[in-house]
């Protein structure tokens, strides 16, 4: 009894070929899926940029429109949220100290009057380029009162390292009292 095995060598070769073919189909399927995902995301992002693009003329910021000096700082909106408008310029932010309430939806709107700056608020995930001609917008909410530094993190000239502002997060009630008799707030109001 030399040949105990009942399997015909021809059969097992066929079986192996079948399994290989099945795996080949799976692999081709995975590759097709990856290509489809690449094409979809490419087209999707081309049609829908990551954030909406708002432009503004940097040369007339101080003269008229949203970013005139009297409109900078924190403003309470009708729905209770707070909008903060900030200008970055060589080498400071205006306002220099920003005050916002805790546990309140905040919208930051920031633009540059001259060159590309950066802003980030330490201890948060807020981090953005501030480019002349564009308005950077982001929404956030601070969980608790505290002080954060807001340095410029994009090299913008010889005074870059001295360019930073403070963000003061105060209790919601404290902010409401501050906001009661003024339209735009910053720390010194
Ligand atoms: Cu502004 Cu660096």
64-76 pLDDT tens trace: 889 998 899 999 9
> How far, in Å, CA of 108 to CA of 126, rounded?
10
When computed from its CA atoms, the radius of gyration of the chain, rounded to whole angstroms, is: 29
Please compute the mean of the pLDDT values over residues 21-36 and round it to a whole number: 97
Identify the CA nearest to 154 among candidates 100, 108, 110, 98: 110
DSSP 53-83: --B--GGGTTTSSTTSGGG-EEEE-TTS-EE
pLDDT at 81 over 60: yes
pLDDT at 3 over 70: no
If DSSP codes are grouped into helix, strand and coil, which group holds residue 161?
helix
State the fold for domain 58-180: Immunoglobulin-like (2.60.40)
Residue whose CA lies nearest to ligand 1 atom number 1:
117
Q: Tell me, in angstroms, the distance from the centre of ligand 1 to residue 73's CA.
A: 19
Q: Tell me, in angstroms, the distance from the centre of ligand 1 to residue 160's CA.
A: 4
Q: Would you list the domain boundaries of the chain?
A: 9-50, 58-180
Burial 18-50 (b: 16+ CB within 10 A, else e): eeeeeeeeeeeeeeeeeeeeeeeeeeeeeeeee
Please compute the mean of the pLDDT values over residues 23-43 and round it to a whole number: 94
By residue count, the chain amounts to 189
Q: Tell me, in angstroms, the distance from the centre of ligand 1 to residue 89's CA.
A: 8
Alpha helices in the chain (DSSP H): 9-47, 172-179
Model pTM score: 0.72
Q: How confident is the model at residue 1 (pLDDT cuts 50, 70, 90)?
A: very low
pLDDT at 7 over 70: no
CA-161 nearest atom, ligand 1? 2
């Amino acid at each position: 009894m030399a040949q105990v095995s009942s399997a015909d060598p021809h059969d097992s070769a066929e079986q192996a070929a079948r399994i290989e073919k099945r795996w080949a189909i799976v692999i081709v399927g995975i590759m097709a899926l990856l290509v489809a995902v690449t094409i979809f995301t490419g087209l999707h992002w081309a049609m829908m940029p990551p954030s909406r693009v708002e432009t503004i003329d940097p040369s007339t910021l101080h003269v008229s429109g949203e970013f005139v000096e009297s409109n900078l700082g924190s403003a309470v909106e009708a729905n209770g949220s707070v909008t903060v408008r900030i200008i970055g310029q060589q080498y400071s932010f205006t306002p220099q100290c920003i005050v916002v309430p805790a546990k309140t939806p905040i919208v930051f709107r920031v633009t540059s009057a001259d060159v590309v700056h950066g802003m980030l608020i330490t201890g948060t995930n807020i981090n953005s380029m501030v480019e002349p001609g564009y308005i950077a917008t982001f929404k956030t909410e601070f969980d608790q009162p505290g002080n954060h530094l807001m340095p410029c993190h994009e090299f913008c000239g010889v005074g870059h390292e001295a360019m930073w502002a403070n963000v003061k997060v105060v209790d919601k009630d404290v902010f409401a009292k501050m906001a009661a008799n003024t339209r735009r707030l910053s720390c010194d109001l």
